[in-house]
Chain A
Amino acid sequence: MAQKTYMQALNDALREEMERDPNVLIIGEDVGQFGGCFGVTKGLFDQFGEKRVRDTPITESAIVGAATGAAAAGLRPVCELMFVDFIGVSMDQLFNQAAKMRYMFGGKTTIPMVLRAPQGAGIGAAAQHSQSLESWFMHIPGLKVAMPATPEDAYGLLLTAIRDDNPVVFLEHKVLYGVEGEVPDNAGAIPFGQAKICREGTDVTIVALSKMVYSALEAAETLAAKGINAEVIDPRTVSPLDMDTIIESVKKTHSLVVAHEAVKTGGAGAEIAAQVAEEIIDYLDTPIMRVGAPFTPVPFSPPLEEAFIPGAEDIVAAVEQIRS
């Protein structure tokens, strides 16, 4: 059992997959000697050389498109966007090209590419470097979307992402890079579409994504002190989404709160809430609540950014509200 940072776990997954499969390569801005904007690809250039860890110009459209084309031509590219916000520059190549090629071509092609990108607020990077955009991607049939919260999940999900024959959007939270956690020596690939029950409870189900998993666990402790026993579930991938685990939990707790850092409006939480309502509304003893960021861009100034980012206290408040 080793203590590792989230960043190291990602780095290990990349290295091991590159050692295992010569078709895996990395492209992106400053991913080479520089090691990536946040350092995720550090050391890989030295180990694998420029051919397999390749700096690109600042050209997101071509980064995502080239990864798509190279994947269609038989490689397994992992491309990096420095910040998920830059997907705006390359969206066509992702959602009209990578996501749909297989379907449009009658199942005759595979696009085994991974698009890694950090998202999330919390470092004062303002409106164009802080968004959480998973709902954009989960809305597109043909894409898979992973968003690990822990080092172990970061490692295991990235292995799966690279081995998957579909385009995978792999969303890291930039504030989690330095977070440490246990990664077992025998850790392996974690299948997509398998939620993790992070804490068992009986009174309310809290489904949380990415960094909000930590807030949900913190909220659960606060609630426990007030006699409310919360179950915390991390779906880990939002496409595919493991609704079975969530539904089983809600059948037990009869109460649901969904929490994510993305803007609440049109977020992944709306999808989860809607599916629970469609499937098992009769089991619910309380209204469903969503916790998410307010409907504003991410502001720069620290007190504003702090007000923007949802946290444990918002989850506690949501649980107390529906139970009152």
Chain B
Amino acid sequence: MTISKKKMIEMYTTMYRIRQFESKLQEFFAASKIPGFVHLYLGEEAVAAGACAALNKEDYITSTHRGHGHLIAKGGDLKLMMAEIFGKSTGYCKGKGGSMHIADVDLGILGANGIVGGGGPIATGAGMAIQYRGEDRVAVCFFGDGASNQGTTQEALNLASAWELPVVFVNENNGYGISCPISKSMAITDIADRAAGYDMPGVIVDGNDVTAVYEAITAAVARARKGEGPSLVECKTYRWRGHFEGDACTYREKDEVDEWIKKDPIPRCAQKMLDEGILTEKELDALHAKIDTELQEAITFAEESPLPEPADLFEDVYA
């Protein structure tokens, strides 16, 4: 598969945007500027960037508690994201959702989710709606290695497969569900193995290689669009930070973290683009500068935005 220059730049831009956004949140959380929980996506950027690059605006995704990267990759507006995470009324969810529920429904995002495994059945239902109306769309379910053990996830895989729904299950296997390594939570090492039980393709890719992710998801999406049913793509990756900000991360060795940091997907992609003459150093710097400016504007917007009014509490409970 050849990937166009434009696509490469798009994916790199997404990864860098996620990296900078999440790094800022890390700072803000440490400075107590953000209420609630924050689960950072640092180190896993290639999964969201590669997967969403294979989608159209009309396609659906379900995201997780670690959802900022998915939203950015689907085209999320950093201003509205930052404002939401700050709890401001101008945010994506008017301050009702925060980091764990951040979503742009207009971009086909059916939620970040506070319930591990909550997204699988919802993506499956979106797939059902697509099939019902005969639309040219797909639904992508992002879920973690931990989430793969939930009954909801397994039920969704089965239903999507039994009904041949246009769903792509993208597993983000970062090796841990909070402190629990997969060696303790399951008897297999590859989550893709589970696909066999549902008679769907189960593919493993290097989740820190954005092009590999893109290629695998593109193939799975094509299959879904043709009406051939769901696939499971397992992306092996790693989260650099603790489970949530504030997690002392006593359950894993520093060496392990360092090894994975060496596999940083971002310089890897940059190097590839430089080697292949897709971008020059100068162009790369300009791209970085543009995103840094965009991020700064998002921060200013969030900081200057008003908090919700207490009366807003009662809005949007029912349609």
Contacts and interface: CB of A to CB of B under 8 A. Distances in A.
Contact of A88 (B115, B251, B314): B115
B37 to A, nearest CB: 6
B117 A58 contact: yes
Interface stretch (B18-26, B66-74, B305-313): B305-313
Interface stretch (B97-105, B128-136, B276-284, B293-301): B97-105
Interface stretch (B5-13, B177-185, B217-225, B232-240): B177-185
B48 interface: no
Contacts of A58: 116-117, 146-147, 149-150, 177, 180, 185
B158 interface: no
Contacts of B147: 58
Q: Which of B35, B88, B250 has the most CB of A within 10 A?
A: B35
Nearest to A125: B36
Interface string A294-313: 11110111111011100000
Contacts of A103: none
Contacts of B115: 85-86, 88-89, 128
A47 interface: no
B114 A299 contact: no
A160 interface: no
Interface in A46-92: 55-62, 85-86, 88-89
Interface in B221-253: 250-251
A255 to B, nearest CB: 29
B101 A300 contact: yes
B31 interface: no
Counting chain A residues whose Cβ lies within 8 A of the other chain, the interface size class is 35 or more
B314 A294 contact: yes
Contacts of B116: 58
Interface string B112-123: 011111000000
A300 B102 CA distance: 11
Contact of A304 (B114, B178, B184, B312): B312
A108 B310 CA distance: 53
A33 B251 contact: yes
A52 B47 CA distance: 37
Contacts of A37: 178
A124 B313 contact: no
A43 to B, nearest CB: 13
A304 B146 contact: no
Contacts of A297: 96, 317
A304 B150 contact: no
Nearest to B35: A124
B267 interface: no
Contact of A299 (B37, B95, B180, B186): B95
Contacts of B114: 85, 125-129
Nearest to B247: A34
Contact of A296 (B35, B308, B313): B313
Nearest to A128: B114
A89 B98 contact: no
A203 interface: no
A29 interface: yes
Counting chain B residues whose Cβ lies within 8 A of the other chain, the interface size class is 35 or more
A29 B114 CA distance: 15
B178 A30 contact: yes
A57 B180 contact: yes
B95 A304 contact: yes
A300 B151 contact: no
Interface string B168-202: 00000000011110001110000000000000000
Given A58-B116, A59-B149, A296-B314, A302 B179 contact: no
Nearest to B151: A61
Nearest to A293: B313
A123 interface: yes
The majority secondary structure among interface residues of chain B is: loop
A301 B117 contact: no
B87 interface: yes
A304 B310 contact: yes
B317 A57 contact: no
Interface string B154-177: 000000000000000000000001
Given A88-B115, A126-B98, A295 B177 contact: no
A124 B36 contact: yes
Nearest to A61: B151
A121 B99 CA distance: 16
A311 to B, nearest CB: 13
B177 A57 contact: yes
B118 to A, nearest CB: 8
B175 to A, nearest CB: 14
A39 to B, nearest CB: 11
B152 to A, nearest CB: 7
Contacts of A126: 36, 96-98, 100-101, 114
Nearest to A297: B317
B95 A34 contact: no
Contacts of A85: 114-115
A70 B131 CA distance: 43
Interface in A278-324: 294-297, 299-304, 306-308
Nearest to B180: A55
Contacts of B150: 58-61, 89
26 contacts: A29-B177, A29-B178, A29-B180, A30-B178, A30-B179, A33-B250, A34-B179, A55-B184, A57-B186, A58-B117, A58-B149, A58-B180, A59-B150, A89-B117, A89-B150, A123-B36, A126-B98, A128-B113, A128-B114, A129-B37, A299-B95, A300-B35, A300-B93, A301-B89, A304-B308, A304-B312
Given A33-B251, A302-B35, 11 more contacts: A32-B179, A34-B250, A55-B185, A58-B147, A89-B117, A89-B152, A128-B101, A296-B314, A299-B308, A303-B87, A304-B308
The 8 closest A-B pairs by CB, nearest first: A124-B36, A300-B98, A301-B95, A301-B87, A128-B114, A124-B35, A307-B310, A57-B185
